[in-house]
Amino acid sequence: MASAATAPPSPGNLKRIVAASLIGTTIEWYDFFLYGSAAALVFNKLFFPDSDPLVGTLLSFLTYAVGFAARPLGALVFGHYGDRLGRKKLLVLSLLLMGGATFAIGLLPTHATVGSTAPVLLTTLRLVQGFALGGEWGGAVLLVSEHGDARRRGFWASWPQTGAPAGQLLATGVLSLLTAVLSDDAFGSWGWRIPFLLSGVLVIVGLWIRLSVDESPVFREALAQAEARKAAQDGVAEKLPLVSVLRHHWRDVLIAMGARMAENISYYVITAFILVYATTAADVSKQTALNAVLIASAVHFAVIPLWGALSDRIGRRPVYLIGAVGVGLWMFPFFALIDTSGFGSMVLAVTVGLVLHGAMYAPQAAFFSEMFATRMRYSGASIGAQFASVAAGAPAPLIATALLDDYGSSTPIALYVIAAAVLTVLAVLVAKETRLRDLAAVDPADAEEQAAPASPADARTV
C-alpha cells in the first residue's frame, strides 16, 4: 500500500501539477529558443555589425552558446537547494530569473547606440538565462515524476518535455508572424524586441499557476526521514547532495551525459542551425525556414507524450535507442531534402528529425529521474543533463556553422551528428532499464529487481 506521504494524487490535482510544469517549461524554453532564433536572424547585424555576415553569425551563436555554459552552474545551485528545500520554491525562482532576463533583452541598446557595451550586456543576460534553465529542467520533470502514477510515469513525465517544442512553437510562431507583417527594416529596427517583451506577460501567468501546486510527496517523505535520521544521530547533518551524487551515482551521471549527446546536438542542428543553412546554402527565405520549423514543432509536441507512453510499455532504453539510431540515419536525407529548397521537402526533413528526436526526449525525464535517490535526485538529474549541454547543445550551431564555412557542404555536419548518435547509443546500451524502479526507494539500486505492481492497490506510487 502507498504511504500517506505518497498516496496517489487525484486526477484533477495531477493534471494541475502537469499543467504547472508544462506552462513553466514552455515559458522558459520560449525565452531560451527566442534568443537562438534571433541569434540566427538579426543579432549578427544588431550586435556584431562590423563582421562579415557569416562571421557575425558565428559571434552571435557564440553568445548563444554562453547560455549553455551557465547551465551546469544553475544545475549545481538549483539542484543543491532543490534537494534541500524542495522542488517548488526553486521552480518559482527559475521562472522569475529567466523571464526577467528575457524581458531585459527586449530593452537592450544595440551596437549602433552604445558600441561594444551592447554585446557585453547581451552576453550577461544570456548567462542569466542559462543559469535559470539549468535549474528549471530538473525541478519541472521531478515535480511530475514524483507526483504521478508509477505505472504511467513515462507518459506523465513526458509532458514537461513538451514545453521544449511548445516554447519553440511559440517563439518561432511569434517571429514568423512579425517577419510576415513587418518589413526587414522595421523588424531589424524595433520588431525583434516585441517577442522578448512579451515574456513579461507570460511569466506572470506562469507564476500564478506554478504557485498553486503542492510540493512533491516523495520529497516530503524523504525529508521527514532525513530529519528523523539526523535526530537519531545527534544532529549529524547529511552529506551535500553533490557529494552523494558523485559518490553513489557517478556512473549514472556519465550515462545521462552520454544519452544527452545525440538528443541535444540533433535538436539544435535541426531547429537553430537550420535557419542559417536554409537561408545561406539552400537559398531559402527566413520566412520559409521559420514556417517549416513551426509546423515540425507542432508535430514534435504531439508525439512526445506518445513516445513517453510507449516507454511505459516497452521500457525507457528501447524507445531512447529508436531515437538515437533514427536521428543518425536521418541526417543525410535531412540535408538532401533541404538542399532541394522546396517548402514541402523542408517540412518533411525537420518533422521527421524532430519526431525521432522525441523518441529520445520523451523518456528522458522518467529515465533520468529513476536513476537517482530522492535526496539527490534534483542534483543528479540536473548535473547529468546540463553538464552534457556544454559539450552538446552549446557548441552545436557554432560547430555546424564553422563546418559549413570551412567545407561549404552539409556532409561534415551530418557526420558530426552521426558521431553524437553513436555516443548516445553506447551510453544507453550500458545503462540499466529503470522503468520498474520505485522512486521512493532510498537507493534506486534497491529497486532494480522490483517487478511491476500487480494492481493499483499494491502499487507504491510516487
Those residues whose C-beta lies under 8 Å from the C-beta of residue 18, and which sit 6 or more positions away, are 144, 148, 156, 159, 160
Return d(Cα 243, Cα 248) in angstroms, integer.
9
* Amino acid in position 423: L
Band the pLDDT of 53: cuts 50, 70, 90: low
Band the pLDDT of 229: cuts 50, 70, 90: low
Q: Which region among 6-15, 240-249, 277-286, 316-325 has the lowest average model confidence (pLDDT)? A: 6-15
Q: In this predicted model, which residue has the larger pLDDT, 17 or 446?
A: 17
Cell numbers at residue 125, please? 543576460
On average, the pLDDT of the chain sits at 83
Evaluate if residue 423 carries a pLDDT over 50. yes
Band the pLDDT of 431: cuts 50, 70, 90: very high
Interval 19-31: pLDDT, tens: 888 887 888 788 8
Q: Which region among 17-21, 75-79, 411-415 has the lowest average model confidence (pLDDT)? A: 17-21
Cell numbers at residue 131, please? 543559469
Asked if residue 104 lies in contact with residue 356, where contact means CB atoms within 8 angstroms, the answer is: no
Cell numbers at residue 47, please? 550586435
> For residue 2, what pLDDT is reported?
42
Dihedral over alpha carbons 258, 264, 266, 269 (to 10 degrees): -140
pLDDT (mean) for 386-412:
88
- Ranges of H-type helices in 233-342: 241-248, 250-268, 274-280, 286-314, 316-339
> For residue 130, what pLDDT is reported?
85
* Amino acid in position 363: P
Interval 103-140: pLDDT, tens: 999 999 988 888 888 888 888 898 898 898 888 888 88
Evaluate if residue 358 carries a pLDDT over 90. yes
Q: Which region among 130-144, 245-259, 355-369 has the lowest average model confidence (pLDDT)? A: 130-144
Evaluate if residue 5 carries a pLDDT over 50. no
The secondary structure of residue 16, as a DSSP letter, is: H
Cell numbers at residue 198, please? 512579451
User: Within 13 Å, how many C-alpha atoms sit on residue 134's CB side?
Assistant: 32
**Cα 396–356–251 angle (5° rounding)?**
65
> pTM of the entire structure?
0.81
Band the pLDDT of 455: cuts 50, 70, 90: very low
